[in-house]
A and B are shown apart, each in its own frame.
Chain A
Amino acid sequence: MHPHNDTAIAVRNLVKIFEKRNSTPVRALDGVSFTVRRGEIFGLLGPNGAGKTTTIRILTTLLKPTGGRAIVGGHDVQLSPLEVRKQLCVVLQDNAVELYLSVIDNLKTFGRFHGMGRQEVQTRMDQVLGLFGLDDVRHAKAIDLSGGIKRRLQVAKVFLVDKPIVFLDEATTGMDALNKRATLRAIRDEASKGRTIVLTTHILEEAEELCDQLAIINHGTIAASGSVETVKALGLGFLTLKLEFAKVPATLLKWLKSLDPLRIETKGSLVEMTISKETNLISLLSRINKERTITSLQVTGASLEDVFVELLDKQKGSLA
């Protein structure tokens, strides 16, 4: 494997088998391959247990692969783990803060671990505290903070240091909408400065908004990969209808479900449903309107979520 100069991460045929005494080995990754270019935001999407976190743990040298190869920042994760660690910083899925230290001491110790000088930490710290709305709690001990603020602190740490590659495993979990916005903005800003960001998320809108490239992983294999548009194009056979009614009683929802859409969701008076392009749209809309008056209507192509659900359903079907 000879990665190009603009390659930040190259993963080829990565396999991870977890073997436990007295139980069947679990094949968590089964030949995963992808490439991430420098300065790119790369999303690794997939349902629970798909292999996202296992992939991140291998790329951050926390786990050794059973087979295949991964190059991070020009170094092999198995042959030069220390050199790999020098290139990256990570937000793990679990909360990871020093509970008995204050917010600023958490940042100071993290900076120190990543080789920053006292002055450099001080300068960056003020910026990061402001960026993540941690100014008011700077002297509070982490143990006294709410779950969401602890998560903000954990994410803030990686923006304190200037490592070329950042891994964010479900980074916005537990954050309120405001802080989520700030975090997404910070991720975008960092990428525009040339940092490579690899993120995993369950929130597909987040991935759609942020990622330059993504890979959908399921049962330890890559189900689809490419730019957001490329992956969405896989769902060209679908349409998403956003229908607004004065009210959505349970009877209406039941009736809409009887039309057999590929996906249906309600948010207050809004119903979002995905249908196949082969469906006669005019006839369908006319039937719905007869049942209950549609107050507003929007028809779009498939969303990333539609493609995601469809791909996973297809895989499920082929495995069954």
Chain B
Amino acid sequence: MNAIGAVMYREYKIRITSLMWLFYDLLMPFAYLLIFGIGLDRAFTSGVVVQGSLVSYNEFFLAGVLSMACFGIAINTSYGFFIDRDNGIFYEFLTYPMTRGEFLLGKIMFNCLTAITQAMIAVALGSVVLGIPVRWEFFPLVLVGVSLGTAGWFFFLAIFALRIRRNDMFNTFINVAYFILMFVSSMFYPLDPMPAWLRNASYLNPITWHTDALRYFTIGVGEFATVALEAGAFFVFLVASFIGAVKTLQRMS
């Protein structure tokens, strides 16, 4: 536990050296909701239908924005491996008295706290400023959801960040992953009216599982049985990615 605390302390120290990062990390989801969300909300004045329920685009997009923020934090954290490698500190870390798993957990736990804080800001401001009817009774589950989402995506991306040696190749990989995972999902639009190929592909995407769960817990849209299945699938994805990331780190030895 001390080792995880030490990694968290290090992540915190690094993060507070840049106020811009702090601003980006904490306010980005709400800023996205405010600009992109309002834009589409005005474009689709009649709202969107999600599994039989009619909701405004802002309501629909809140979960998408939270899910996107988790993915964004995970990208930044996994990109940190490249910065650490360039600084030469990465291999020194691997000689510190901690397991590879503790290293990965410590790295993401601080960022989960960031994700929780930004979710609190986005949901609270979304409710107050944009009038999104939030299901507050499920709010703790939203916070659990953003933590698990951030961790799951970090472990998944860490596998690639550790395996890919070239910065530019990782950037290309991230751009492709970003494009496919975000747009072939329920993040920006409901899947019901989509063509079958896009809908089916989207249901194979962990971002859809994560976003659907967050949508259910924020505004109550969706069926519990489906959401439970999707949440379970995402948890399996998280555990598999964690094992994969630890094994990749061990293989680097």
Interface residues of A (CB under 8 A from B): 60-64, 81-82, 85-86, 88-90, 92, 94-101, 105, 108-109, 112-115, 141
B95 and A89 contact, CB distance less than 8 A: yes
- The CB with the most chain B CB atoms within 10 A, among A62, A94, A112, A141, is that of A112
Q: List 29 A-B pairs, Cβ < 8 Å.
A: A61-B94, A61-B253, A64-B253, A82-B98, A85-B95, A85-B97, A90-B95, A94-B88, A95-B87, A95-B88, A96-B87, A96-B88, A96-B91, A98-B14, A98-B87, A100-B14, A100-B18, A101-B13, A101-B14, A105-B13, A109-B9, A109-B13, A112-B6, A112-B10, A113-B10, A113-B98, A114-B97, A115-B2, A115-B97
**Chain A residues near B88 (CB-CB < 8 A):** 92, 94-97
Q: B99 near A: Cβ within 8 Å?
A: yes
Interface residues of B (CB under 8 A from A): 2-3, 5-7, 9-10, 13-14, 17-18, 87-89, 91-99, 253
Secondary structure of the B contact surface, majority rule: helix
Give the nearest-CB partner of A60 in chain B: B95
Give the nearest-CB partner of B90 in chain A: A96
- Alpha-carbon separation in the docked complex, A52 to B253 (Å): 17
- The CB with the most chain A CB atoms within 10 A, among B7, B13, B92, is that of B92
B17 and A114 contact, CB distance less than 8 A: no
- Taking the closest CB of chain B, its distance from the CB of A113, in whole angstroms, is 5
A88 and B95 contact, CB distance less than 8 A: yes
- Alpha-carbon separation in the docked complex, A173 to B93 (Å): 21
**Chain A residues near B96 (CB-CB < 8 A):** 85, 113-114
What 4 additional pairs, Cβ within 8 angstroms, besides A60-B95, A98-B89? Answer: A85-B98, A96-B88, A105-B13, A113-B7
- Alpha-carbon separation in the docked complex, A89 to B96 (Å): 7
Give the nearest-CB partner of A163 in chain B: B97
- The CB with the most chain B CB atoms within 10 A, among A63, A108, A109, is that of A109
B97 and A86 contact, CB distance less than 8 A: yes
**Chain A residues near B3 (CB-CB < 8 A):** 113
- Taking the closest CB of chain B, its distance from the CB of A15, in whole angstroms, is 16
- Taking the closest CB of chain B, its distance from the CB of A165, in whole angstroms, is 11
- The CB with the most chain B CB atoms within 10 A, among A88, A94, A105, is that of A94
- Taking the closest CB of chain A, its distance from the CB of B151, in whole angstroms, is 21
- Taking the closest CB of chain A, its distance from the CB of B15, in whole angstroms, is 10
Q: Find B91's partner among A62, A100, A115 (CB 8 Å cutoff).
A: A62
- Taking the closest CB of chain A, its distance from the CB of B97, in whole angstroms, is 4
**Chain A residues near B10 (CB-CB < 8 A):** 98, 109, 112-113
- Taking the closest CB of chain A, its distance from the CB of B104, in whole angstroms, is 15
**Chain B residues near A62 (CB-CB < 8 A):** 91, 94-95, 253
- Alpha-carbon separation in the docked complex, A100 to B83 (Å): 11
**Chain B residues near A92 (CB-CB < 8 A):** 88, 91-92, 95
B17 and A101 contact, CB distance less than 8 A: yes
- Taking the closest CB of chain A, its distance from the CB of B197, in whole angstroms, is 36
- Alpha-carbon separation in the docked complex, A101 to B17 (Å): 7
**Chain B residues near A81 (CB-CB < 8 A):** 253
Q: Find A97's partner among B5, B89, B97 (CB 8 Å cutoff).
A: B89
Q: A82-B99, A90-B95, A115-B97 are in contact. Are A100 and B17 (CB under 8 A)?
A: yes
- Taking the closest CB of chain B, its distance from the CB of A117, in whole angstroms, is 10
- Alpha-carbon separation in the docked complex, A108 to B93 (Å): 14
- Taking the closest CB of chain B, its distance from the CB of A116, in whole angstroms, is 10
- Alpha-carbon separation in the docked complex, A81 to B97 (Å): 9
- Listed from nearest, the 7 A-B pairs whose CB atoms lie closest are A94-B88, A96-B88, A96-B92, A86-B97, A112-B6, A113-B6, A113-B96
- Taking the closest CB of chain A, its distance from the CB of B20, in whole angstroms, is 12
**Chain B residues near A112 (CB-CB < 8 A):** 5-6, 9-10
Q: A63-B253, A85-B97 are in contact. Are A109 and B6 (CB under 8 A)?
A: yes
**Chain A residues near B89 (CB-CB < 8 A):** 96-98
- Taking the closest CB of chain B, its distance from the CB of A115, in whole angstroms, is 6
**Chain B residues near A115 (CB-CB < 8 A):** 2, 97
- Taking the closest CB of chain A, its distance from the CB of B141, in whole angstroms, is 33
Give the nearest-CB partner of A141 in chain B: B17
- Alpha-carbon separation in the docked complex, A85 to B96 (Å): 6
- Taking the closest CB of chain A, its distance from the CB of B251, in whole angstroms, is 9
- Alpha-carbon separation in the docked complex, A92 to B13 (Å): 23
**Chain B residues near A100 (CB-CB < 8 A):** 14, 17-18
- The CB with the most chain A CB atoms within 10 A, among B14, B87, B99, is that of B87
**Chain A residues near B9 (CB-CB < 8 A):** 109, 112
Give the nearest-CB partner of A167 in chain B: B95
**Chain B residues near A97 (CB-CB < 8 A):** 87-89
Give the nearest-CB partner of B86 in chain A: A99
